[in-house]
Amino acid sequence: MLIGELAERAGTSTRALRYYEAHGLVLAQRSANGYRVYEEAELRVVREIRALLDVGFGLDDVRPFVACLRAGNASGDVCPDSVTVLRRKLAEVDAYLDRLGAVRQQLHAQLTHAIAHREETCPRKRQSAH
C-alpha cells in the first residue's frame, strides 16, 4: 500500500510515517517511480507505535515492541525487552502518582489552613455606595 493509504488506515499523517521510517521503526520499499510502498504488516506496527506514543512512550521505548512484532509475535508486548520497558514505565508512572499525591496533600492542608484563618486576617471589602 502507498503512504497515504497506510496513514489513513492507521489514523496518522504521512509526515509521521516518514518520521517513523527515518528512525528505523517503519519499513518501506520503493517502487520504480520512487513511491514508498508498505507491506500490510506495517499497519500493525504503526498502530502499535501510535498506541505507545499516545500513552507517553518515547521512540526509543517503542523499539522493543516493534522488534517483537517483526519477530512474528501477535503482540509487541510479549518479548522480554518489551516487558522491561513496561516495568520501567510503570515505575515512572507510580513515582509521578506518589509525587502528585504529596502535592495534593500539601495543597489540601494549605487550603484547610487558609479557610480556617481567612476571617481573622483578611479585611472585608467595603461595598461602594452607588
What CATH number labels 3-121? 1.10.1660.10
Q: Domain coordinates of the chain in residue numbers?
A: 3-121
**CA atoms of 29 and 51, how far apart (whole Å):** 24
22: Cβ–Cβ under 8 A, 6 or more apart, which residues? none
pTM equals: 0.79
pLDDT averages per 10-residue partition of the chain, 130 residues: 96 97 96 94 96 95 97 95 97 97 96 84 63
Overall size of the chain counted in residues: 130
Q: Cell triple for residue 29?
A: 520499499
Report the largest interatomic distance among the alpha carbons of the chain, rounded to a whole angstrom: 83
Give the side-chain half-sphere CA count within 13 A for 32.
0
